[in-house]
């Protein structure tokens, strides 16, 4: 992949794609991790005399919708960098071009949410050309959006000299090393609700990992395939066949919970009981892994050269069913090996338990990290290699 070292930025207008798709509540940024993660590239470009024009999406608006304006991100970025950040209410066109033309070397301009334009997700060549008209060079640091072949992540990279930013390069390096040359043993803990959502990831780790620890509701199709009763646990018919196949292919490396925490319904005030074993009685649903499982998984994670974790072990958003996810998060955080956590729910869980700074690498990508680890080519990365 081309990196910042491959290009000269002095006095250049640099169109920098970042992933500022942060959670907002009533217009307030509730987690600015992704903004802070983009700072090394922004600072590197400013130091080298670039005029920095930032492009990002925020959520999935249907056209121009003020609830999804990036304006609050300009204010946060100004706080974090200590320099003024200009904001363009239009993504492309006259206002954006005029503001871009006024930028001094080292200056920063943030464009409005790129998904306000239909041409973005359509990867429309005319819209990509309008974006390209704003800059002399394109830099992509939006790892979280690298699995999208959109105008600002893929189309525009074909129209300008282009390179990967610091964050994107680092994410790709860490995750590709996990796939190709991990410190062994490689132990992966994968949770979540549905086998079919994670099947490609499970296949990928079954082929590479020394142990694959399963948690979350996705253990029930495995139990059902083994002939256990699942009660009213989440267990969909379509997940049974893939679970059966994974068991047949890798049962010696695939580890399932040996005890569970049950609830009589999915609620914080549900009736709760522990189950030693895997047969869930009628009227009960499995909502977390049990203590023995947590202790066993923690031991496996502590013995790993490399740990990968993605997906909660139970319904951690409900306090009575959070212990398994907390135990795995703590085990990942205290494990002596290299620890890598995929974004999305696992990142939220780590943050909830105050452990976000205790892992080797917390990916800023949810879907992008998973697709990379499934072994799929990501359009936003491939285009920087061609």
Task: Report the catalytic residues.
Answer: 34, 194, 344, 367
Instruction: Kindly tell me the burial class for residue 171, based on how many C-beta atoms sit within 10 Å of its own C-beta (0-12, 13-18, 19 or more).
Output: buried
- For the bound state, the minimum distance from the C-beta of residue 234 to ligand 3PG, rounded and expressed in Å, comes to 23
Q: What are phi and psi of 383, to 5 degrees?
A: -70, -20
| Strand-pair partners of 110 | 54, 87
- Nearer to ligand 3PG among residue 68 and residue 297 (C-beta): 68
Q: Which of 144, 286, 337, 342 binds ligand 3PG (CB under 6 A)?
A: 144
- Nearer to ligand 3PG among residue 161 and residue 367 (C-beta): 367
CB atoms within 10 A of CB 365: 28
User: Three-class SS string for 147-199?
Assistant: CCCCHHHHHHHHCCCEEECHHHHHHHHHHHHHHHCCCCCEEEEECCCCHHHHH
The contact pattern for ligand 3PG, residues 307-346, with x = CB under 6 A and - = no contact, is: ----------------------------------------
- For the bound state, the minimum distance from the C-beta of residue 367 to ligand 3PG, rounded and expressed in Å, comes to 5
- For the bound state, the minimum distance from the C-beta of residue 68 to ligand 3PG, rounded and expressed in Å, comes to 11
- For the bound state, the minimum distance from the C-beta of residue 214 to ligand 3PG, rounded and expressed in Å, comes to 23
- Nearer to ligand 3PG among residue 168 and residue 335 (C-beta): 168
Q: Does 148 bind ligand 3PG (CB under 6 A)?
A: yes
Give the DSSP H/E element, type plus range, for residue 200.
Answer: helix 195-208
Q: How far apart are CA 166 and CA 91, in angstroms?
A: 24
3-state secondary structure of 102: helix
Q: Does 366 bind ligand 3PG (CB under 6 A)?
A: yes
Site for ligand 3PG in 47-66 (CB under 6 A): 60
Which range binds ligand 3PG by CB under 6 A, 82-90, 141-149, 165-173, 223-231? 141-149
Sheet (strand 186-190) strand order: 254-255, 211-214, 186-190, 306-310, 338-341, 361-362
Q: Does 17 bind ligand 3PG (CB under 6 A)?
A: no
The contact pattern for ligand 3PG, residues 19-48, with x = CB under 6 A and - = no contact, is: x-x---------------------------
What is the crossing angle of helices 166-180 and 33-47, to 10°?
120
| Residues 294 and 328 sit within 8 Å (Cβ to Cβ) | yes
Q: Does 380 bind ligand 3PG (CB under 6 A)?
A: no
Residues that bind ligand 3PG (rule: CB under 6 A) add up to a total of 8
- Nearer to ligand 3PG among residue 144 and residue 231 (C-beta): 144
Q: Which of 108, 134, 137, 145 binds ligand 3PG (CB under 6 A)?
A: 145
- Nearer to ligand 3PG among residue 60 and residue 385 (C-beta): 60
Sheet (strand 85-88) strand order: 85-88, 108-111, 51-55, 13-17, 137-140, 162-164
- For the bound state, the minimum distance from the C-beta of residue 58 to ligand 3PG, rounded and expressed in Å, comes to 8
- Nearer to ligand 3PG among residue 18 and residue 315 (C-beta): 18
- Nearer to ligand 3PG among residue 69 and residue 306 (C-beta): 69
| Residues 212 and 202 sit within 8 Å (Cβ to Cβ) | yes
The contact pattern for ligand 3PG, residues 261-280, with x = CB under 6 A and - = no contact, is: --------------------
| Closest alpha carbon to 328 in 346, 342, 315, 306 | 346
CB atoms within 10 A of CB 2: 17
- Encoded tokens for 20: 């500022």
Q: Which residues bind ligand 3PG (CB under 6 A)?
A: 19, 21, 60, 144-145, 148, 366-367
């Amino acid at each position: 992949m081309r990196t910042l070292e491959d290009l000269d930025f002095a006095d250049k207008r640099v169109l920098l794609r970042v992933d500022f798709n942060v959670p907002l509540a009533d217009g307030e940024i509730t987690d600015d991790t992704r903004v802070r993660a983009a700072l090394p590239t922004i600072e590197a470009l400013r130091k080298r005399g670039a005029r920095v024009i930032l492009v990002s999406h925020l959520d999935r608006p249907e056209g121009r919708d003020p609830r999804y304006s990036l304006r609050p991100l300009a204010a946060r970025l100004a706080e974090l960098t200590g320099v003024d950040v200009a904001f363009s209410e239009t993504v492309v066109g006259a206002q954006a071009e005029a503001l871009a033309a006024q930028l001094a070397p080292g200056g920063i301009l943030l464009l409005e949410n790129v998904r306000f334009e239909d041409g973005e997700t359509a990867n429309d060549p005319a819209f990509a050309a309008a974006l390209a008209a704003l800059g002399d060079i394109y830099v992509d640091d939006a790892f979280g959006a690298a699995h999208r072949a959109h105008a600002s992540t893929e189309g525009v990279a074909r129209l300008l000299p282009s390179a990967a930013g610091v964050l994107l390069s680092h994410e790709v390096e860490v995750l590709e090393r996990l796939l190709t040359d991990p410190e062994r043993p490689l132990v992966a803990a994968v949770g979540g609700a549905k086998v079919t959502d994670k099947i490609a990831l499970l296949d990928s780790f079954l082929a590479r990992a020394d142990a694959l620890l399963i948690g979350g509701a996705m253990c029930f199709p495995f139990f059902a395939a083994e002939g256990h009763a699942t009660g009213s646990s989440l267990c969909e018919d379509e997940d049974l066949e893939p679970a059966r196949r994974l068991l047949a292919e890798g049962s010696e490396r695939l580890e399932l919970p040996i005890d569970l925490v049950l609830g009589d319904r999915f609620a914080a005030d549900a009736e709760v009981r522990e189950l030693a074993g895997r047969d869930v009685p009628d009227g009960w649903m499995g909502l977390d892994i049990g203590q023995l499982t947590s202790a066993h998984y923690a031991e496996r994670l502590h013995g790993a050269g490399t740990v990968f974790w993605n997906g909660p072990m139970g319904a951690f958003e409900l306090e009575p069913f959070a212990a398994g996810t907390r135990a795995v998060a703590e085990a990942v955080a205290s494990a002596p090996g290299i620890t890598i956590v995929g974004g999305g729910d696992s990142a939220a869980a780590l943050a909830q338990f105050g452990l976000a700074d205790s892992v080797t690498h917390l990916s800023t990508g949810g879907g992008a990290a998973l697709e990379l680890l499934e072994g799929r080519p990501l359009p936003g990365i491939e285009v920087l290699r061609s």
